[in-house]
Amino acid sequence: MLGKRLCIGDTIGLISPASPENVVAIKNAIIFLKNQGFNIVEGKHLYDKWGYLAGKDKDRASDIMEMFEDDKVDMILCVRGGYGSSRLLPYLDFDIIKKNPKIFAGFSDITVFLNLFYEKCGLTTFHSPMGTSNLEDIETFKSFMYTFMEGYNPYIIKNSSAFETNCITSGTAQGDLIGGNLSLICSSLGTPYEINTRGKILFIEDVGEAPYKIDRMLTQLLLAKKLQECTGIILGQFKNCDLPHYERSLTLEEVFQDRLYNLDIPMFSGLCSGHDYPKLTLPIGAKVKMDAESGSINVMEAVVE
Please state whether beta strands 287-291 and 296-299 pair in parallel, antiparallel, or not at all (unpaired): antiparallel
The DSSP H or E segment spanning 168 is strand 166-169
Q: CB 84: neighbour CB atoms within 10 A?
A: 22
Please state whether beta strands 267-269 and 232-239 pair in parallel, antiparallel, or not at all (unpaired): parallel
Nearest to 275 by CA among 88, 74, 128, 144: 128
Rounded to the nearest 5°, which phi and psi values hold at 209? -110, 125
**What burial class does residue 71 get, using C-beta atoms within 10 Å of its C-beta: 0-12 exposed, 13-18 middle, 19+ buried?**
exposed
Residue 60 to residue 220: CA distance in whole angstroms:
30
In 3-state terms, what secondary structure has residue 176?
Answer: strand
C-alpha Rg value of the chain to the nearest Å: 18
| Helical spans, DSSP H, in the chain | 23-35, 57-69, 94-99, 111-121, 138-150, 182-187, 211-223, 252-259
Residue 111 to residue 128: CA distance in whole angstroms:
10
Angstrom CA distances, 22 to 46, 78, 89, 137, stand at 10, 13, 24, 20
Given strand 39-42, what is the order of strands in its sheet? 39-42, 11-15, 75-78, 103-106, 125-127, 282-284
Are the C-beta atoms of 208 and 217 separated by less than 8 Å? Answer: no
Residues noted as catalytic: 108, 205, 275
